[in-house]
Structure 1
Amino acid sequence: MEEDRVRLICKRTVVSTKPVEQGQLYRFSVFDHVMEPNHIRLVYYYQSSKTREPGEITKKLRESLAYTLNCYPIVTGRLVKETDGTEENRWKVKSNDAGVRMVEARATGTVEEWRRSVNREEELKLVHWEDMYPLPYYWSTFYVQLTEFESGGLAIGLSCSHLLADPVCAMMFVRTWADLTLTRNMMAPPLFHPLPPRRFSSHKLSNNQLLSHYIKSCSLTAPPSNVTEDNMVTIILLFPDPMVQAGENESGLTAFEMLAGLFCVCVSRAKGKRNELTDMSLCLDVRKILRLDQSYFGNCMVYHKVHYSKPVTTKDRLLLLSYVVQEIHNVTKGLDYDTVMDLVEWLGSNNNNPISNGSDLVCTNLENMGNSRPMMFEEDLILSHVSCYVEGPVAGGGQVIVLPSPSGEGPMSRVVMVTLPQREMVKVVEDELLQSFSPVLLMETTKLLNQ
């Protein structure tokens, strides 16, 4: 693979076009605080049929980003720890209009050529990230990278601290930026408000497995030593509509549940498990459960351990898949308002460490981030793919992220990003059960897998 296909041009700061209220404090929710050590990286790939001067599209998007930041004062502020009589030694954002850092870059070839030959390490060069400085007040919690491809196309990278946002609102930020760039209209303004208040009732804690998972996971101080970023590889697969539908054998199942079950079975076999299944946690958006708008800005995704109701008794992988999918379905349908509020109230009354998913396989549901409106910055910029990375202790021993597929692939089709240790990934991609779903490899990583 070629060296230095991405060339950095400059790094600058982009501030909002309107002054913000100086000194205003934005407090984090209990869901925000437990995500502190983690961060998110998104990469949006756009194909273009128009020839532009170098830097032309970057200049336009830089200007529209400044306009977008008017709606996101929490993004342009800086982290502080201030005692206000109610909270001590907890992060807050102080509004000071310090802006976000933007990196401008150039890449060789076209977007299509890049995606045919890129791997995890190179893709992360398209989304700049810096760990927290010793002086946090000067550290930007959000970074944007605009990479123009010399022969056509654009990559937009967004990274942010998970303390401020989950993948849902990070993606909504990019959509808002696109809407304001194309039409100057904001379709879904961000909402900044607290989580639902404490319940004033005689509700008592029941057998709450969601809460039990957090109690255990917040006591873990570090990921297991045998799981490191150095040996992790990522592949991206498209599962066509008919293939996902063919795997369903009961009504009411979602594509996410089907695909999470599929990778649970395949990863279990790759780990050498014969009479048991790998530990797995689901990452699920609970905005709707908590009766919050989808535009709620902040962390509102929870990690729920999958508890299998009975031991594995079959070697028939289709029967096993059906069993696992049903167990996952039971978890997703079992989440309700009281279950999540038990967790919110426990987090609010305990001095918690950040959550760690240990060596679990973490399956994240982002399939509802699709939209009937194309995410367009300009008429001739066509979105071809979105990559999402969640990095930190919450990532567990491997990740499966289920995303909406490109338009025209069918309502049940999905894109799945899979991150695993290299030795396990080789076995997973060769698994007969996985191959029976006829996935299409969207990003070529065979060179890395064959090393």
Structure 2
Amino acid sequence: MKVEVVSSEFIKPSDPTPLSLGRLDLSLFDQLTPAIYTPLLLYYPSGKTSPSVDKIRCLKSSLSLLLVHFYPLAGRIRDQLYIDCNDWGVRFLEADVKCSLSDMLVRPQPLEMKMLLPIDMESEEAGTGPILLVQANSFECGGFALGMCISHKIADMGTFGNFLASWADAAVDITKVEPPLFNASTLIPPSIHLAGMPPVELPKAKTITRRYVFDSSKLTALRTRITSKQVTPPTRVEAVSALLWKCISKASLNLGLGRRKSLFSLAVNLRSRMLPPLPANTFGNLVGSICIGMTVDEVTETDLSELARKFKEEKDSYLENHVKKDLVGEKITMTISASAKAFGELISGEGVDFYNCSPWCGFPLYEADFGWGRPIWASHVSTQFKNSIVMMDQVGGEGIEVWLTLLTDHMNELDKVEGLMEFASLNPSISR
């Protein structure tokens, strides 16, 4: 696949941002979030839809209108403390792809697909450069792929998903757009002590990213196997997390790492779980995480049902004892700071394997209809951040797509482990 960028420009809000809105403070959650980009690709077939030139014109005009409401996305992050809402703009690239979309979807290659994004997700610009970048990719067949990267410093997937849904609405009728709420820093004030400090960095390594698909029937079979008299039916994410952790740990055991500590962290959207609950369109990072720790030996010896039960119990305990009791009132800043410190010590400690799982399930990625139909696929890409897991909804069903990134030797060892492929397919074609 050859991708040629043919144009680059900055899209600015259609109306200038008032001086009174020129500064948006980061929340403490934002400050403690690593400076990386969150990537997302949406794919649209040619069919009877409008030509790419019309799609691109629509995307640019609607984005300009939408930035009046999402004005921080056109700004720049300053001093780890605030967003300078200066209408600098969203970088917008146009690219021609020298192949057909259908050829690419036969066997999607996570590494090649990075060429469809406007910037590497590992780029340090996420902390100081453009907050949002877009790349409109036109395939030779008339197919189209929309590549987006948003700075994780100021946006979790809840914010990203709300922006995407609003952008699709703006392309059809701007009056349908509900402006986001920018009150996160009032609820969770930033720390002046973090001003000017370098953002958190994630270590890069020689990795492999693979896509595993759990279709609805196989996922139902997995959940049924896990369910018992002692274990209530796990959620889709809990079931897949338990199986992944067990199989990955078996691979670690084969590498002679049985006594190492293994930690599995699962991200949780806090908006609806805080007291009082926050609206879904609250802008920023509002994500917590549950973390389960065992030795590699213990994970491999523990039954899947028991692992799933641990995920469920830890999540219930986290929401009841941490979110509802500690993330309230004056305790919130101290609680977040203490959790971040403990979290940092865990992931940087020697002899520890830390797996970071981000479930994107349930977000309206497949509802992004800009006027030419919904996407036939939404994807992640490969990354250099080891031990990362992204879960996404499978198109047209209750299945889950897993984007798993491991060190090269670890991934090669996973190939030899039984259990995973009983319920998952390795990088199947995308059916239209």
Q: TM-score range with shorter-chain normalisation?
A: 0.7 to 0.9
Q: What stretches of structure 1 of length at least 5 have no aligned partner?
A: 82-89, 199-217, 445-451
CA offset at residue 234 of structure 1?
1.6
The answer to whether the 8 A contact 1:80-1:92 is kept is: yes
- Cα 1:370/1:427, change in 2 over 3 Å: farther
CA offset at residue 119 of structure 1?
2.3
Cα deviation 1:330-351 (Å, max 9, x = unaligned): 1211222224445643346999
Cα deviation 1:112-145 (Å, max 9, x = unaligned): 2113344232111111127456994xx3221111
CA offset at residue 305 of structure 1?
1.9
Task: Describe how 1:70-219 pairs up with structure 2 within 5 A.
Answer: 70-81=68-79, 90-129=80-119, 131-132=123-124, 136=128, 139-186=129-176, 188-194=178-184, 197=187
Q: Letter of the 2:208 partner, please give it.
A: V
Correspondence 1:283 to 2:270 = no
CA distance in 2, matches of 1:48, 1:366: 27
CA distance in 2, matches of 1:351, 1:52: 48
Aligned to 1:6: 3
Correspondence 1:338 to 2:301 = no
CA offset at residue 260 of structure 1?
0.8
CA distance in 2, matches of 1:73, 1:115: 35
Aligned to 2:245: 264
Q: Identical aligned pairs, as a percentage?
A: 19
Correspondence 1:384 to 2:372 = no
CA offset at residue 50 of structure 1?
2.4
The answer to whether the 8 A contact 1:44-1:155 is kept is: yes
- Cα 1:296/1:223, change in 2 over 3 Å: closer
Task: Describe how 1:26-105 pairs up with structure 2 within 5 A.
Answer: 26-50=24-48, 52-53=50-51, 55-81=53-79, 90-105=80-95
SS in 2 for 1:70: coil
- Cα 1:195/1:253, change in 2 over 3 Å: farther
SS in 1 for 2:48: coil
- Cα 1:177/1:340, change in 2 over 3 Å: same
Aligned to 1:433: 419
Task: Describe how 1:277-316 pairs up with structure 2 within 5 A.
Answer: 278-290=262-274, 291-308=277-294, 312=298, 315=301
- Cα 1:193/1:426, change in 2 over 3 Å: same
Range with bigger deviation, 141-150 or 248-257: 248-257
Q: 2:215 aligns with which of 213, 225, 240?
A: 240
CA distance in 1, matches of 2:338, 2:259: 40
CA offset at residue 14 of structure 1?
0.3
CA distance in 2, matches of 1:6, 1:243: 36
The answer to whether the 8 A contact 1:6-1:106 is kept is: yes
CA distance in 1, matches of 2:335, 2:81: 19
CA distance in 2, matches of 1:34, 1:391: 21
CA distance in 2, matches of 1:384, 1:34: 35
Q: Letter of the 1:35 partner, please give it.
A: T
SS in 1 for 2:271: coil
The answer to whether the 8 A contact 1:12-1:103 is kept is: yes
- Cα 1:353/1:7, change in 2 over 3 Å: farther
CA offset at residue 322 of structure 1?
1.5
CA offset at residue 264 of structure 1?
0.3
Aligned to 2:235: 254
- Cα 1:263/1:339, change in 2 over 3 Å: farther
Aligned to 1:328: 311
SS in 2 for 1:432: coil
SS in 2 for 1:43: strand
Aligned to 1:16: 13
* Number of corresponding residues: 397
SS in 2 for 1:278: strand
- Cα 1:313/1:133, change in 2 over 3 Å: closer
Higher helix share: 2
Q: Letter of the 2:222 partner, please give it.
A: G
- Cα 1:352/1:142, change in 2 over 3 Å: farther
Cα deviation 1:163-198 (Å, max 9, x = unaligned): 111122112211211122134453553221126748
Q: What stretches of structure 2 of length at least 5 have no aligned partner?
A: 189-196
CA distance in 2, matches of 1:133, 1:281: 26
Cα deviation 1:27-62 (Å, max 9, x = unaligned): 011100001422211111122302654523212211
TM superposition score normalised by structure 2? 0.81
The answer to whether the 8 A contact 2:14-2:65 is kept is: yes
CA distance in 2, matches of 1:92, 1:328: 35
CA distance in 2, matches of 1:72, 1:22: 15
